[in-house]
Amino acid sequence: MMNHKPLIIILSLVVPILVGLLYITPKFSGVEIDFLPLLNATINGTVFFTLIFAIKAIKNGNKELHQKLIYISLILSTIFLVSYVIHHATHDPVSYGGEGFLKYFYYFILISHIALSAIIIPLVLVTLSRALKENFEE
Q: What's the pLDDT at 3?
A: 87
Q: What's the pLDDT at 94?
A: 81
What is the C-alpha separation between 138 and 135, in angstroms, rounded?
7
By CB atoms closer than 10 A (0-12, 13-18, 19+), residue 72 is middle
Q: What's the pLDDT at 1?
A: 65
pLDDT tens track, the chain, 138 positions = 688 898 999 999 999 998 888 888 888 888 788 899 999 999 999 999 999 999 999 999 999 999 999 999 999 999 999 999 999 999 888 888 888 999 999 999 989 998 999 999 999 999 999 988 888 776
